Amino acid sequence: MRAFAYASPRSLDEAIALLDGAGDGHAGGTRLLAGGTDLLTLMQADLIAPERLVDIKRLAELDDRIEDGAEGLTIGALATLAELEEDPFVQSRYPILAEAAGLAATPQLRNMATLGGNLLQRPRCWYFRDSRVHCWLKGGDLCYARGGENQHHALFDVSPCVAVHPSDPAVALLALDARVRLRGPSGEREISLGSFFAPPEDGRRKETTQADNEVIVAVRIPPRHADARGVYLKAMERKAWAFALVSVAAVLRLEAGRIAEVSVALGGVAPAPWHARDAEQVLVGAESSADLFARAADAALTGAGALAKNGYKLPLAKALLRRALADLTGQPVD
Amino acid sequence: MAANGFQPVTLTVNGSDYPIMVEPRRTLVDALRHDLALTGTKKVCAMGDCGACTVIVDGRAMYSCLLLAVDCAGRAITTIEGLAHGNNLSPLQEAFVASDGFQCGFCTSGQIMSLHALLQAHPHPSDEEIARAVTGNICRCGAYANIVKAGREAAEAMARQQEA
Amino acid sequence: MPAFRIKRQEGDDGVALQLIESEGDLPPWGPNEALSVVGHPYPRLEGREKVSGRAIYASDIRLPGQLYGKVLRSPYPRARITRLDVSRAEAAPGVHAVLSMLNAPPIGWYQEGQLFESTVRLVGDEVAAVAAESEEQAEDALRLIEVAYEPLPFVTTIAAALAPDAPKVHESGNIAGEPVIYERGDPEAGLRQADVVIDERYETPCALHNALEAHGGTAFWDGDQLTLWDSTQAVFVVREEVARAVGLPEHRVRVIKHHMGGGFGAKQIAWKVDVIASLLSKLAGRPVQLILDREAENLVSGNRNPTRQRVRLGARRDGTLTAIVAEIAQAAGAYRTGGEASDVSGTYQSLYRCPNVRTEQTAVYINAGPAVAFRAPGFVEGAAALEQAMDELARALEIDPVELRRRNYSEVDQPSGKPYTLPEGLRLSYDRVTEAFGWQDRPRPSSSGTKRRGTGFAAHDWVGGGGHDPGYAWIEMNADGTVEVITGTQDIGTGTRTGLAQIAAEELGLPLEQITLRLGDTGVGPYSPVSSGSATQATIGPAVRAAAVDLKRQVLDVAAALLEVSAVRLSIEDGKVLVDGDPERAVALSEVTEKIAPHMLQARGCRAPNPEDKAVRTFGAQCVEVEVDTETGTIDILRLATSHDCGRIVNPTMVDSQVIGGITQGIGFALMEERVVDDRLGIVLNANLEDYYVPTVADAPPIAHAPVDVPDLAANSTGAKGIGEPPLIPTAPAIANAVYDAIGIRIREYPLSRQRVLAALAAAGQGEARS
C-alpha cells in the first residue's frame, strides 16, 4: 500500500469540502474511510492510491441507527451489515434485508463493513482487480472480460464493462424500493436506489451516479403494506463466503390469491443491481402458479445474452427466481 | 501531522495501552506483529480473504489486515495473546487442544478469536452458530469438524464454570 | 550404535557406495501386543503453543536490526529485460540492499534457469529484490526500480504449448524432459481381447496449495554463518541446496523450522525466496525477513500440475481387466522443480491386476508457475481419471463398482513384481468402508424431481506411506529420568512430534509427559529426510524405536548394578524399573539415573532400508452420497465414509485429523479449486483466496472414518505407515461418480463447478436449455 495522509475532520461538511476536486483516477485525491473493507483492498492491490483518507466514522452527522418511522425504515450509512443482520426489527419486518446482509461475506467483514460502503464497493471482476490490466473501467480501452474469463460476469449487456455489482444488500434494497440520502456541498438529496446505481458509461466509469463530493448519509425503505413478504436467494461457488454468482430478491404481496404487488431484483447479472420490471409485469395481478413463475423467470431474463462462459447463469437465475416466487406464495417448488 | 509521515497512536491491546508511531498506511495486523511484537496474530492474505488475522475490536471479530492502526485509537483490541490468564489457557484454548481443532496452527489464532467473540456474545451457541462464526476463517488443513467441536466443548466448559 | 555394511558398485558414473544400516534386528510390535502409549489418542504436544499464539513460525522471528524483503516480479508471462536500473531503489529511504541480475552471483535455479535472468518466463518471475527497514519502505523501493521489458509470445495451456509453431518456453522446445513410457504385456492386444472398452478423456485442473503460511523465511548471514528460519518440510534439503547456491559449506548453514503453517508438498525443496533472503542478508549485514505475499505464493511457489488424460480400459464380460492404457499430458509450468515427481501414471500401473498396461506421460512447459508436489502428487490426478473410468466400466458391464474392483485385486506391486507388505490392506479398506457407509443397502438414485441423490465409490493406492532409509534419531536421558528425542525431521503440522514421542514413550516405558522432542533444526538433530510422501512416521518412528531400545538396554544395565539382579529380569513400566517376580524391589527410573549423574545415557537409532523383497504401499477407499440440484447445479455432499490402510495407528486423533483434512482438500479439488489463467494475457486471475475457492467450514461434510488399523509387520518395526496424503486421492472421483449416479451425466473435467454442472445438464437436456 502506498503512503497517504489520514485526516479526522470535525464535521461532515469539512469532510465533504476535502472531497472537492477529488479525482477518481488511480492516484491522488481524497477518499472517505468508514469500514474500509473495500477501500483498503483497492489500495492494497494498487488500484487506487489516494493522497488522503478521511475518517468519517466518528462524525456526529453520520450514524448507524436503524429507525422505523412514518417515512419508513431509515438506516444510517454507518450501520454495519452485522447490525442489519442482527437488528430485531429488520429481522421481523424486513427479513429479506437481514438475510441478504447475513449472506454477504463473513462475520468479520459484516462487523466491519458499513451499508454505505457496501453500496459503493467496486466490482470484484478479476480483470478490474488486477493492477496489471488496464481495463475499460479503469480508464482503458477494452473490457478484457468480454472475450476472456467471463464465467462470473454479466448477463445483461448494458455497459462497455461486463463486471457485476457485488453487493447482496443492494439487491434486497432494490426490491424494497429503497432510497439513498446523499449529502454534498449544497445540501442533501434523496434518490431512488434504481437511479443511484447505473451501469458505467463513458464519462462515468463507475457503478453509481453519486457525485465525487457526495456522501451517503442514510438509506430509507419507504413504508409498505404489512402483508408484503420478501426473500433473498443467493447462489455461490462454495457454501459460504463468496460473492453471488446470481442472486434474487423478491418482495410480494398476495391479495385474495392474486399477486397484488411484486418487486423483483437480480444480483450477479449486470454492472448494477438489476430491476426485473418485465417479470413484475408478468406477475402483477396474476394468480400464482408454477407456470406463471416460469413465465416470469423467462421475462426477467428478457434481453439477457450469455457471454462465452456465463451461460449457466441464465438457468440459474431463472431457477432462483421461480423458487423465490414459489416460496413467497406457498407454492410447491417443482 | 505531516503528510505521509509517521504519527502517534495509542493502541489498547489486551488491556494495556501501547503508544506507538506509525505511518497511516500501517495496518493493524502489521502494527500488532511488528510494533508490538504480538506475532500470535497471523498475516496470510492481507485482503480480508482468509481470517488468519482475526482479532476482537470493541467486542466484535474483525480482520486486522483491513484496519488501519491509526484508525484503532481508543478501541479495545483483544488478540490471541490476551485470552490466557497467566499460565492458564482459556477454556476455549483448552478445548482446541483437546479436540485437535488444528493441525499446522496457522489459522488457529483467528479461529479462536472468532469463537471467543461468539462465546462472549452467545454463551450457549448451537453447532450451526459455531460453524457460522468461523465461516470467515479458512483452515487449509481442514480441521473444521474439530474446530466446531472445540467451540461446543468450550461452551459446555464455560457453562460448567458458571455453575461452579 | 547403528551397524552398517557397504555395497560398492562400479558404473559408468564411477563408484557408487550404498550404506546399508541396521536398526538392530528389532522384532516389530506384534499385532496383539498390549501397547500402553502407541495406539492411544493424545493431544498434540505443541498444542499449547499453537492455541496461545506463542508457536513461532518463520515470519514470527524478530531479531535486532531485522530488515524486510520484497521481490519485484515480472508482469509479463514471457519477456526479455532490456533495461534494469535499480539506482533509485538503492537510494530510497530505509533501503539496505538491492539484489538483481546486476549484482547477484550466477546461481543456477530450477532445472532450466538462473536465480535472476534477463528472460522472464511467467508472470511473477523474480526480477529484483529489496531489503529495507520496513515492509512499506521495501514496497516503495520496488516501485523505484526501472525495468524495460520486451514482451515475447507465450503459451499458457497444454494444447497451445503442443501446437505446431507454438512459442517456445525454452529454446529446447515445450516438452519438458523425455516422455515417460511404461509398458507391460501387450496393451493393444488386451484391448482387442476385451468385451467392453472404455475410451474417455479427462482433465484435472491446476490446483494451488494455498498453505496459509506462505513460503519464505528469515535469513541472517552473520560473518561466515548463515542461519535461516524457514517455512519448510525439509530443513536438511534446504540446508544443502542453499549452501550450494550461496557457496557456503554445510556446517556454516543452519536451517530452523520450529512450526510450519502448512506445506502440502510445496515446501519440500529450497525456493528462490530462501536464497534471495540469504543474499540480501549478506549484502545488508543484517537479518532479512522475506515472506511471499499471497499472490506471489500462488504464482511462483508451486501448484498441482493440470493434466489431460486419455484412458482406455478393456475388460471381459466378467469384469476381468484385459488392458489399461493411459496417455497423459501434464503442464510442468515454466520450470521443473525438484522434489517428489508428479507420477500421474503410477496408479494406472498398480491399482488393479492387469497383465497389459501402457502409460505414456509427457510433461509440457507453459508460461506459468512451476508445478511441484502437492499431497499425493500424480496419484490424485491419475485417480481422478482412472476411478471415473472404472466406474464407467462397471456401469457398462452392469457390475457393482466395488465388486468390479474386487475382481481385479492385486496382492502384488505389479511394476516391481514384489508382493505388498500388507496384501490385504486394500481389501480391508473395501470391507470397512462399504460397511461403514452401508454400500450394499445404499439408496438408489431418484430419477425425478430437481434434487437428485446418488452414491459413488473410489479406491486408491499410493506409492508413499512406507517411509524409507536413511533417517536418524538420538535419545538422551536426563539425570531425572526424563528423555529428549533429537532428530532432524520436522513436524509440518501432521503430528510428528506427538507420534514420535509415543514411540519413544512406549519403548522406554515412560509416560508421554516425560518425553520432549527436539526437531526441525539442522543445528540440533541428525539428518532426517524431507517430510513428504507420507513418510515421516514410518521413516523416523523406527529410528526412534531403535534408539529407545538401545537406551533401555543401557538403563537396565545400570539398574541391574543398582539392584544387583540380572538385567534380563528388569523392565520399565510407567517410569519405574520393575524386577520380574519381585514387585517390592521396583524403583523409580530417576533413582537409577541419579546414581550415575552427571553421566548421561544416550543412544542413537537409524532407519534401515525397507524390505528388499516386498513393496510397502498404502491403500484406501471412499464412499460418498451427494445430492445434486438439477436447476441450480448445487452439489451437496451429504455424507462420506472412508477407510485407509496406514498400518498400525500410532495416534488415532492425529490420523483422524489427517483423514478429514485430506478429504476436505479433496472436496476442494473435486468441486471448486482451479487456477484460472487468461490465455491472451498470460495472467493468473485468481492468485488469491477470494477467487481461488478453498473449502470453508460450510463445505466440510460429515465424514465417517472406518480405519483398517492392522499393523504392517513386514513394513517396519513399528508396523505404522503414513496417512498424510492418501485420504485426498479417491475423494474427487468418488464425488464425480456419485454425481453421475444422481443425474446420469458424466463430468470428466474437474472441478465439478456450478458452471460445469449446469452446462452438462443443459447439454444433456436435463436442465433448462442454454440460450
| Tens of pLDDT, residues C130-168 | 999 999 999 999 999 999 999 999 999 999 999 999 999
Residues C752 and C748: their CA atoms lie apart, in Å, by: 9
Q: Is C663 on the interface with B (CB under 8 A)?
A: yes
Q: Do A5 and B1 touch (CB under 8 A)?
A: yes
Residue C187 included in any domain: no
Q: What's the distance, Cα to Cα, between the start and end of chain B in Å?
A: 53
Q: What's the distance, Cα to Cα, between the start and end of chain C in Å?
A: 75
If contacts are CB pairs under 8 Å, which of residues 485-514 in chain C contact chain B?
492-495
Residues A120 and A233: their CA atoms lie apart, in Å, by: 21
pLDDT for C383: 98
Residue C449 dihedral angles phi and psi, to the nearest 5°: 85, 175
Q: Do B66 and A41 touch (CB under 8 A)?
A: yes
Domains of chain B: 7-82 (3.10.20.30), 91-163 (1.10.150.120)
Residue with cell 482433465: C203
Q: Do B106 and C57 touch (CB under 8 A)?
A: yes
Residue C658 included in any domain: yes
Q: Is A52 on the interface with B (CB under 8 A)?
A: yes
User: Three-class SS of residue C250?
Assistant: helix
Question: Whole domain around residue C566: which residue ranges?
Answer: 3-56+467-606
C-alpha distances out from residue C299 to A150, C131, C603, C677, Å: 21, 21, 45, 11
Within 8 A by CB and 6+ apart from A151, the residues are A309, A310, A312, C755
| Cα maximum dimension of chain B | 56
If contacts are CB pairs under 8 Å, which of residues 94-133 in chain A contact chain C?
124, 126-127, 130, 132-133
**Domain end position, chosen among C564, C590, C606:** C606
Residues A32 and A215: their CA atoms lie apart, in Å, by: 9
Question: B6: which chain C residues are within 8 Å (Cβ-Cβ)?
Answer: none
Check if the beta carbon of residue C357 is closer than 8 Å to that of residue C324. Answer: yes
Q: What is the DSSP letter of A181?
A: E
Q: Domain containing C100 — which CATH number?
A: 3.90.1170.50
Residues C703 and A26: their CA atoms lie apart, in Å, by: 48
**Domain end position, chosen among C576, C606, C636:** C606
pLDDT for C770: 37
Q: Do A240 and C697 touch (CB under 8 A)?
A: yes
Question: C449: which chain A residues are within 8 Å (Cβ-Cβ)?
Answer: 334
Q: In which element (H, E) is residue B125 found?
A: none
Within 8 A by CB and 6+ apart from C357, the residues are C182, C183, C184, C185, C187, C323, C324, C325, C348, C349, C414
Question: A46: which chain B residues are within 8 Å (Cβ-Cβ)?
Answer: none
Q: DSSP secondary structure string, C632-663?
A: T--EEEEEEEEEEE-BS-S-HHHHHHHHHHHH
pLDDT for C769: 40
Within 8 A by CB and 6+ apart from A79, the residues are A63, A64, A65, A66, A114, A115
Q: In which element (H, E) is residue A101 found?
A: helix A95-103
Residues A192 and A309: their CA atoms lie apart, in Å, by: 33
Residue of B1, B9, B62 to mutate for A, most A C-beta atoms under 10 A = B62
Q: DSSP secondary structure string, C299-335?
A: HHS--BPPEEEEEEEEE-TTS-EEEEEEEEEEEEESS
Q: What is the DSSP letter of C134?
A: S
Residue A271 included in any domain: yes
pLDDT along chain A (334 residues), means of 10: 95 91 67 97 96 95 96 98 98 97 98 98 98 97 98 98 98 98 96 98 96 96 94 98 98 95 98 98 96 98 95 98 96 66
Closest in C632, C685, C699 to A319, CB measured: C632
Residue C602 included in any domain: yes
Q: Which triple of cell numbers denotes residue C601? A: 545415557
Residues C295 and C324 in one domain: no
Query: Which amino acid does the sequence have at C680?
Result: R
Q: What is the DSSP letter of A158?
A: -
Residue C561 included in any domain: yes
Question: C64: which chain B residues are within 8 Å (Cβ-Cβ)?
Answer: none
Check if the beta carbon of residue C605 is closer than 8 Å to that of residue C538. Answer: no
Closest in B4, B62, B65 to A5, CB measured: B4
Low-confidence residues in chain C, pLDDT < 70: 1-2, 767-771
How many contacts does A have with C, using Cβ atoms within 8 A?
A: 99
Residues C484 and C583 in one domain: yes
Residues C476 and C469: their CA atoms lie apart, in Å, by: 22
Q: Do A108 and B1 touch (CB under 8 A)?
A: no
User: Three-class SS of residue A115?
Assistant: helix
Question: A82: which chain B residues are within 8 Å (Cβ-Cβ)?
Answer: 60
Question: C157: which chain A residues are within 8 Å (Cβ-Cβ)?
Answer: none
Residues C710 and C746 in one domain: yes
- Length of chain B, in residues: 164
Question: How many folded domains does chain A comprise?
Answer: 2
Q: Do B25 and A2 touch (CB under 8 A)?
A: yes
Q: Are strands A179-184 and A187-192 parallel, antiparallel or unpaired?
A: antiparallel
Closest in A127, A133, A237 to C754, CB measured: A237
Residues C318 and C366 in one domain: yes
CB atoms within 10 A of CB C341: 15
How many contacts does B have with C, using Cβ atoms within 8 A?
A: 164
Residues B147 and A70: their CA atoms lie apart, in Å, by: 46
User: Three-class SS of residue C512?
Assistant: helix
Residues C558 and C707 in one domain: no
Question: Whole domain around residue A17: which residue ranges?
Answer: 5-58
User: Three-class SS of residue A263?
Assistant: strand
Closest in A237, A333, A334 to C672, CB measured: A237
User: Three-class SS of residue A136?
Assistant: helix
Check if the beta carbon of residue C56 is closer than 8 Å to that of residue C260. Answer: no
Q: Is C725 a catalytic residue?
A: yes
Residues C306 and C156: their CA atoms lie apart, in Å, by: 11
Pick from B118, B51, A74, A129: nearest CA to C687: A129
Question: A318: which chain C residues are within 8 Å (Cβ-Cβ)?
Answer: 768
Residues C314 and C287 in one domain: no
Closest in B23, B89, B145 to C48, CB measured: B89
pLDDT digits (tens, 9 = 90+) for C300-323: 999 999 999 999 999 999 999 999
Question: B27: which chain A residues are within 8 Å (Cβ-Cβ)?
Answer: 1, 40
Q: Is C25 exposed, middle or buried (0-12, 13-18, 19+ CB in 10 A)?
A: exposed
Residue with cell 416460469: A294
Residues C372 and C362 in one domain: yes
Q: Do C689 and B47 touch (CB under 8 A)?
A: yes
Residue C325 dihedral angles phi and psi, to the nearest 5°: -130, 125
How many contacts does A have with B, using Cβ atoms within 8 A?
A: 82
Name the neighbours of A, counting chains with at least 3 Cβ pairs within 8 A: B, C
Q: Is C70 on the interface with B (CB under 8 A)?
A: no
**Domain end position, chosen among C606, C622, C656:** C606
Residues C322 and C451 in one domain: yes
Q: Do C51 and B102 touch (CB under 8 A)?
A: yes
Residue C201 included in any domain: no
Q: Domain containing C738 — which CATH number?
A: 3.30.365.10
Q: Is A163 exposed, middle or buried (0-12, 13-18, 19+ CB in 10 A)?
A: buried
Q: Is C105 on the interface with B (CB under 8 A)?
A: no
- Which is the catalytic residue, given C435, C725, C749, C768? C725
Residue C452 dihedral angles phi and psi, to the nearest 5°: -110, 130
Residues C676 and C725 in one domain: yes
User: Three-class SS of residue A260?
Assistant: strand
Residue C172 included in any domain: no
Question: C47: which chain B residues are within 8 Å (Cβ-Cβ)?
Answer: 96-97, 102
C-alpha distances out from residue A63 to A12, A114, A184, A218, Å: 11, 10, 17, 8
Q: How far is C606 from chain B (nearest CA, A)?
A: 27
Residue of C137, C754, C756, C770 to mutate for A, most A C-beta atoms under 10 A = C754
Residues C296 and C418 in one domain: no
Q: Do A105 and B136 touch (CB under 8 A)?
A: yes
Closest in B40, B52, B140 to C54, CB measured: B40
Residue C664 included in any domain: yes
Query: Which amino acid does the sequence have at C504?
Result: A
Q: What is the pLDDT along chain B (164 residues), one digit of tens a residue?
A: 444 589 999 999 999 999 999 999 999 999 999 999 999 999 999 999 999 999 999 999 999 999 999 999 999 999 999 999 999 999 999 999 999 999 999 999 999 999 999 999 999 999 999 999 999 999 999 999 999 999 999 999 999 988 87
Q: Are strands A179-184 and C3-11 parallel, antiparallel or unpaired?
A: unpaired
Residue of A106, A112, A122 to mutate for B, most B C-beta atoms under 10 A = A106
Residue of B65, B104, B111, B127 to mutate for C, most C C-beta atoms under 10 A = B104
When computed from its CA atoms, the radius of gyration of chain A, rounded to whole angstroms, is 20
Closest in C47, C213, C293 to B46, CB measured: C293
Q: How far is C745 from chain A (nearest CA, A)?
A: 16
Residues C565 and C584: their CA atoms lie apart, in Å, by: 13
Angle value at C-alpha C208, between C522 and C210, nearest 5 degrees: 55
Closest in B48, B68, B133 to A41, CB measured: B48
Query: Which amino acid does the sequence have at C292?
Result: L
Question: How many folded domains does chain C comprise?
Answer: 3
Q: Do A37 and B60 touch (CB under 8 A)?
A: no
Q: Do A133 and C123 touch (CB under 8 A)?
A: no
Nearest CA in chain C to A234: C632
Question: A240: which chain C residues are within 8 Å (Cβ-Cβ)?
Answer: 696-699
Q: Domain containing A300 — which CATH number?
A: 3.30.390.50
Residue A109 included in any domain: no
Residue C439 included in any domain: yes
Q: Are strands C483-487 and C515-518 parallel, antiparallel or unpaired?
A: parallel
Q: In which element (H, E) is residue B68 found?
A: none
So what's the ipTM on this one? 0.97
Q: DSSP secondary structure string, C396-415?
A: HHT--HHHHHHHT--SEETT
